[in-house]
Structure 1
């Protein structure tokens, strides 16, 4: 069988193959980036860190709106400090050798739903905090009050002291190690390992097909 191809035909075939390659690489990169974003979000919600934090994971494809053999995808978080802390499990120390103050459930929430500081808590409740040092376990900041139906410490309205109790409001520690709850590198490695196969499969869909 004799096959004849002109230079023009070869040029068109090569151009079509390049276009197929650009589309294959861009599509594979986009799918890999989207898959990694989904995997990271799944890790975050699976670790009990909430859907709000999971939604901080974003992805962006480059070049935007065009196919390229040099396509790339960026997957990142809009809350890198929080995500990074849960990914590495760092040791957190207080500044200047002071105390780290950790609110208990009895402290409730401050303005905007944030954790209150001892000064903010005293101003909000009208109660005074008292420091109790302990040799084992965290030291405490406690207040004399009562627990309401929501488990929050409030001032007692009883003139006889009925229901009055000593409530731990804040835990005081010199340092604390945050438990590692994420393994983002694991999903990143999987995405990188799967990428060559994704490109080949996408290229086979749009590239030149062998003829009999």
Structure 2
């Protein structure tokens, strides 16, 4: 009887472990397929209990360390500005990091490098934050655009090669696309659990 019970404990534990790992990896694949990157995908974790031993009451937990982000993409959440004004979305022209090394936003925009931001209102379209008197920088070998920089006083006085560059789009709200389906995937793996337990039960 003890041997049969030990066999059952092992089968249940292995089945739960496969289910937990399977759901975790499925969620990671969802995140990478959605284009959110491997780092975000790795926030999905799976734990099995009790740790380090077999149990007829084995359990698994799958969770993410970025729950608010994942919930937003599962619920297609609408994001609004906290102060009721605008959400500033960086354009590809904006630097990735601002003053202090933090993610770029209008408050930490390095105006000493690019120039002052100027607000441009557009009726019926996203408004803009732009910098004036910028000059394009190109790769000398390939000729590809590397980015923009603040023009020198001499270049401004001559007025040659100057352009206005859009750094941020301003919108009242943004709706996230529905990219994550955790509940659906969790049910699929839960339904597979009995089969996985039987697979680990010796004949």
Q: What TM bracket, shorter-length normalisation?
A: 0.7 to 0.9
Encode CA deviations 1:115-166: one digit per residue, 9 max, x unaligned.
3121321444251111111112211011111233355332023242222111
Encode CA deviations 1:36-85: one digit per residue, 9 max, x unaligned.
11111111111111111111111111000011111111111122222222
TM-score of the aligned structures, taking structure 1 as reference length: 0.83
1:194 aligns with 2:177: no
Tell whether the 8 Å contact from 2:76 to 2:175 is kept in structure 1 after alignment. yes
What is the alpha-carbon distance in structure 2 between the residues aligned to residue 101 and residue 52 of structure 1?
Answer: 24
What is the alpha-carbon distance in structure 2 between the residues aligned to residue 136 and residue 153 of structure 1?
Answer: 28
- For 1:105, which of 55, 68, 92 is the aligned residue? 92
- Tell me the residue number matched to 2:4: 17
Tell whether the 8 Å contact from 2:127 to 2:170 is kept in structure 1 after alignment. yes
- Tell me the residue number matched to 1:153: 148
Tell whether the 8 Å contact from 1:100 to 1:173 is kept in structure 2 after alignment. yes
More strand by share: 2
1:136 aligns with 2:124: yes
Q: Structure 1 pair 153/120, CA: closer, same or farther in 2 (3 Å)?
A: farther
Encode CA deviations 1:82-107: one digit per residue, 9 max, x unaligned.
22222222000111312111111111
TM-score of the aligned structures, taking structure 2 as reference length: 0.87
- Tell me the residue number matched to 1:183: 181
Which stretch shifts more, 157-166 or 136-145? 157-166
Give the unaligned 5+ runs of structure 2. 139-144
More helix by share: 1
Which stretch shifts more, 66-75 or 125-134? 125-134
1:116 aligns with 2:104: yes
- For 1:162, which of 160, 163, 172 is the aligned residue? 160
Instruction: Report the 3-state secondary structure (helix = DSSP H, G, I; strand = E; otherwise coil) of the residue aligned with 2:123.
Output: coil
Give the unaligned 5+ runs of structure 1. 1-13
Tell whether the 8 Å contact from 1:105 to 1:151 is kept in structure 2 after alignment. no
- Tell me the residue number matched to 1:84: 71
Q: Structure 1 pair 197/147, CA: closer, same or farther in 2 (3 Å)?
A: same
What is the aligned residue count? Answer: 192
Which stretch shifts more, 132-141 or 120-129? 120-129
Tell whether the 8 Å contact from 2:114 to 2:131 is kept in structure 1 after alignment. no
Cα offset for 1:113?
A: 6.1
